[in-house]
Structure 1
């Protein structure tokens, strides 16, 4: 009697544990409850029909499975607020259950298509376990189906949840309990006959397997599990949505076409920007989405919060009208979408619908919007390294005149924000926006947009060309950038038309995230590119010396315009003269101090320490020279690549970027061979560098820095000499490698 009760209970409990483990990647506890119901009912059905012929059990259990599956899917559909006939929901779940489970975003929402596979698997596991373990009396074999279900749950979870410590120990303990209970059953053999205890033998075999496989299992504890999602292709967008930047020109030609109706997203007048797609990949031909969309529920993963940046919660209701495709416009960054099934890409915060958009589709988006403090931009750096290589990559064959223009815009703008602002100002001041500009953002299109004859259609474009040109120039100057396509929607709510479609560039900054820039023209009469263009110099960084107090003449001193000339030998101008003289003395002292500190820093780097130290110092002098010239070395470049990039000469800012000159082949200076060889020696063979290598590297970088400085105007040469930047710039990274 004990065996008849304990074994079914243990088998059902084993299946419930599998549901507990799998439920850790689901939102809420509905999946665990549905699996527990399947376990209890399937094992209970087997126990209730144990007196019937064995061939009747499977048909009865399958009929019960069909009824329970329909009930479970109905509950899941109601919880997910899915509309439609039950037959359609069941058919869709059965057809798409496995791929949607393996492509769903974690936490997985328990919808019909994500719960049907676990529920059916749990029921079949309970049926097999009871028939083998309880009806046939082979308890150890009866534990195999629940064990397979448990292993499958662990495999589906992969690296997306913590280790299942206590469920695994409980699972093993229940198996031992079932074997121990059945091993104490009464024997029908004679007393003098040797007793065969199959359960006991099975227990010994189990313990032996544990002893043999234990070391291997222990060695796998710290290993990262395989994620089965890598073998299943998530939802993909078609060509229409892969590069929606191409649609900007079409929308511009139909400015009155109604695309959306949006609800209010705030109070007052103004615009709220809706994001349709983020395009981070560029191959010289097309800017592409390149996203990995995962089927998602109504609740999306919370975006990474920026430090010390307030979060504004925005809820907006959007109704689709003439917009086609599958991309859903949302306020960045969405945390929940209700009203339609979606797939979500967490890296870009963009949303698609598995089905095509249809007029009348209405959905509600909740977003957490973060606006960084723009006052921090002038001092913010752009990140480097492998994490942002994707946002710095351009296709092969960059036109030479585009590269030279990027070098000119970066010249003298060492700070990341200064370079971005120079590109923004250049595009806004030299090009014109027109609605009938041809679509295209490949290298030839952008080259014609930037340098083409204005009388022949050059130097005019839509926001497609402005955003694409900005992002390309930004990447060529070492700024991680991307292009975004979206709409300017009225904050108070209302229609969104083709005229509201816009593309804009974004640049990534440390601690500030992606910051949007606006390179669109501010005037209807832009300056032709052929005219001289001199970028505004960057504002010098604040001096470490305290500023002298402003001098003001005594209150009794009359204004200079009406003051009588002082008598010969008088002292009427003495206070002003002394004040001005004090300011000059302080400025001269500050200049001499900076000059002395800069020369001392260079001397220590190139003459003191071991040869390795001196080569490392030469590398710092090289990177400082590049930064002072407005061409900072991207952190992800190796030494050889950085030197090759440095050999491209920058155009002096006083020279206009005319097409003929930009297309001329450059005259390269002497290569930085000794410096690169020395850096590679230090990186790969520490201690192997000799005095000759160190001296040659120092002499080479000194000559190179002097040649860069000599090409600047006199005031830039002076500022180069006393610039306090090298005294405070931190150099945590080791020199690049070959």
Structure 2
């Protein structure tokens, strides 16, 4: 009995070591306690039932497993403050594997994150106990604990520390089991001297063969195994897809203009305690910019109540209590940087601390957040440096061609400034002194929008915008000056007022200094007098101007006259006849080429229009219809300004169609009806850009094509005869993007 008890202790120790191997990625000691309890229960039942029939061990162990699972679920649910009912247990067991792979580290012990480890520990203990205690197959009984230990190491992956005492303790328990399982031979098992010599010979030969095999394997596999020592383990969490955002939440910067227009829209209520001057409530962080749109580009992991792996204890703690009203989407508001979230199950991006709710926000949703608010040290920031490594390459990227005027302004602001912090303040001073904040500025933060905001004429809407344009302009200028920059979207909180409305939405830039993201406010103050931009900086025109769209043919009078060859009267007639034939052939060939071009260009354009409007997905056909409208405006000599939104282009198209009506023979002018509107087409374009895939039907795509063709035909009909002729023969639309 003592020998079997020591074997049971060895198996129990190996199972507990597997729990110690898994514990580093969990928050607190609860998982370790539950797995140790499961190991003790399963091995204990096998030891207690060793004298009973073998068939009785399984039913007893199943009853024990049921009790252990219920206990683990109730204890973890109570500790996490979540539902611990039996239906919740079924749901937790069904989703335990993806929850483990998607959970934020440290994983909070909850029913869906502890049930699977507890059940696997119990089953491994049952198999090991029956093999080692009942059937005395000690070495074979090590297989289940070893599989459990290896699975724990694989699940931890690169998130644990270097191997320490746990593998050594695991090996020590295994050696203990092998030592106590060795029994002296009985009287009837004694061997003779000859048999003993034979046995020793065989053991010696086996030892030599084993040693040779070990040496050979060490020579063959040793270098490759040694090379793995410094590498990181495989991350199993990369095998599953984390929670994703839709297009509306992926680029929330475009929502600022809508919130500004609906400034009284009640978004949510919040009560902030722990500070007299609440910082802005952050909704999202936008890291990636492609020259057109700023995007979130985050990787979210499911989290429990604890969402910060290493809380910064030196920063003050701020508590917030939220109640959602009209705010929609998946992005969850909260003051940076969150440490704890109660009331909802969230997913968190560990790089910036932003949170999402997989089920989406709903009116009446209540939750609370505990955050650590970073207070920057102004003196330290004066000498702070910015990193320039591969890790921050995404925060320095500016794809495409940055307009020359913006690049010139960045060089102008960076002249004579060496400190990165002073460079950021130079941008803040420029934007806050020269530009004006308006609430009805159109949305847009692409390169053309930023350029128009910085240098556009004031009377046409330039040099004024919302926080979207201020933040986007700061970010582009900062990245041109070598400062890692990102944008944040959130809401201002006024002391003493709990309601947050659409007018409180704001965007601001953040710059990375010494590993900490510092926010900046480029918005002008209320008493700031706007200074004319032209007084302090005027961008130089580009070195080479693009050629005009149409080049007039040179007149006969302007064409250089080539000198006539000097010929004698006797030889003049022959060459003149041959040159006349050559001129006639050349002119005929040129005429045929012009006729072929005149016939092929309209045919090619008509075929291209029919193919683009009639094939592809509904979204592609809507985009093609919108391209037809923009092409028609360019051919009419009234191209749409690049800073206008789709809805504004639709209004512009209605006014751009006005033109000189051509006259019928006899001097009677043609009276034309109003141009077909393209407002519905503009709405479909916005749907394609910002809604989810499949939101446009086949009928809507067909109607969009009809509207586009009707508008373009009417726009062409309002031009004069020569303008309509050039419209039909112009080959440039075939090459326009």
Give the shorter-chain TM-score range: 0.5 to 0.7
Worse-matched range after superposition: 101-110 or 113-122:
101-110
1:255 aligns with 2:257: no
Local SS of the residue matching 1:489 = coil
Is the Cα–Cα contact under 8 Å of residues 73 and 84 in structure 2 kept in the other structure? no
Give the structure with higher Rg (CA): 2
How many angstroms does 1:238 deviate by?
2.6
Is the Cα–Cα contact under 8 Å of residues 264 and 493 in structure 1 kept in the other structure? no
How many angstroms does 1:305 deviate by?
6.0
CA distance in 1, matches of 2:86, 2:29: 25
How many angstroms does 1:218 deviate by?
6.8
CA distance in 2, matches of 1:391, 1:26: 31
Is the Cα–Cα contact under 8 Å of residues 428 and 520 in structure 2 kept in the other structure? no
1:298 alignment partner in structure 2 = 305
CA distance in 2, matches of 1:244, 1:360: 22
> CA offsets, 1:426-470, max 9 Å, x none?
323333323232222222332333333444433332211111111
CA distance in 2, matches of 1:666, 1:510: 43
How many angstroms does 1:157 deviate by?
1.9
Residues 121 and 367 of structure 1, relative CA distance in 2, 3 Å threshold: same
Is the Cα–Cα contact under 8 Å of residues 432 and 524 in structure 1 kept in the other structure? no
Local SS of the residue matching 2:272 = coil
Local SS of the residue matching 2:363 = coil
CA distance in 1, matches of 2:177, 2:210: 14
1:648 alignment partner in structure 2 = none
1:273 alignment partner in structure 2 = 280
How many angstroms does 1:93 deviate by?
1.7
CA distance in 1, matches of 2:92, 2:451: 50
> CA offsets, 1:494-520, max 9 Å, x none?
111111110011223348752323234
2:123 alignment partner in structure 1 = 124
Is the Cα–Cα contact under 8 Å of residues 272 and 491 in structure 1 kept in the other structure? no
How many angstroms does 1:334 deviate by?
1.9
Is the Cα–Cα contact under 8 Å of residues 84 and 111 in structure 2 kept in the other structure? no
Is the Cα–Cα contact under 8 Å of residues 312 and 372 in structure 2 kept in the other structure? no
1:233 alignment partner in structure 2 = 241
Is the Cα–Cα contact under 8 Å of residues 484 and 504 in structure 1 kept in the other structure? yes
Q: In structure 1, list runs of 5 or more residues that go unmatched.
A: 535-652, 668-738
Aligned Cα root-mean-square deviation (Å): 3.4
CA distance in 2, matches of 1:274, 1:188: 83
How many angstroms does 1:288 deviate by?
1.5
CA distance in 1, matches of 2:290, 2:208: 60
Question: Aligned to 1:533, which of 535, 540, 544?
Answer: 535
How many angstroms does 1:664 deviate by?
4.7
1:157 alignment partner in structure 2 = 156
Question: Aligned to 2:329, which of 325, 330, 340?
Answer: 325
Local SS of the residue matching 1:170 = helix
1:427 aligns with 2:431: yes
How many angstroms does 1:204 deviate by?
8.4
How many angstroms does 1:22 deviate by?
1.1
2:653 alignment partner in structure 1 = none
Residues 304 and 284 of structure 1, relative CA distance in 2, 3 Å threshold: farther
> CA offsets, 1:93-139, max 9 Å, x none?
22221222223232221111211221111011112212322333211
Aligned length: 534
Please give the residue correspondences for 1:140-179 in structure 2 after superposition, counting only pairs within 5 Å.
Answer: 140-179=139-178
CA distance in 2, matches of 1:169, 1:244: 52
How many angstroms does 1:279 deviate by?
1.2
Please give the residue correspondences for 1:653-692 in structure 2 after superposition, counting only pairs within 5 Å.
Answer: 653=537, 656-657=538-539, 661-665=540-544
Local SS of the residue matching 2:280 = strand
Residues 509 and 43 of structure 1, relative CA distance in 2, 3 Å threshold: closer
Local SS of the residue matching 2:358 = coil
CA distance in 2, matches of 1:452, 1:186: 99
Residues 42 and 258 of structure 1, relative CA distance in 2, 3 Å threshold: same
Question: Aligned to 2:469, which of 465, 470, 486?
Answer: 465
Q: In structure 2, list runs of 5 or more residues that go unmatched.
A: 547-737
1:514 alignment partner in structure 2 = 518
> CA offsets, 1:149-191, max 9 Å, x none?
1111122222322233322222222222222222216558553
Is the Cα–Cα contact under 8 Å of residues 429 and 523 in structure 1 kept in the other structure? no
CA distance in 2, matches of 1:479, 1:32: 45
1:497 alignment partner in structure 2 = 501
CA distance in 2, matches of 1:351, 1:61: 42
Residues 223 and 424 of structure 1, relative CA distance in 2, 3 Å threshold: closer
CA distance in 2, matches of 1:124, 1:484: 49
2:588 alignment partner in structure 1 = none
Residues 267 and 424 of structure 1, relative CA distance in 2, 3 Å threshold: closer
The normalised TM-score by structure 1 is 0.66
CA distance in 1, matches of 2:33, 2:149: 16
How many angstroms does 1:373 deviate by?
3.2
2:290 alignment partner in structure 1 = 283
Is the Cα–Cα contact under 8 Å of residues 317 and 364 in structure 1 kept in the other structure? yes
2:733 alignment partner in structure 1 = none
The normalised TM-score by structure 2 is 0.66
Residues 42 and 243 of structure 1, relative CA distance in 2, 3 Å threshold: same
Residues 61 and 527 of structure 1, relative CA distance in 2, 3 Å threshold: same
Worse-matched range after superposition: 122-131 or 403-412:
403-412
CA distance in 2, matches of 1:663, 1:330: 45
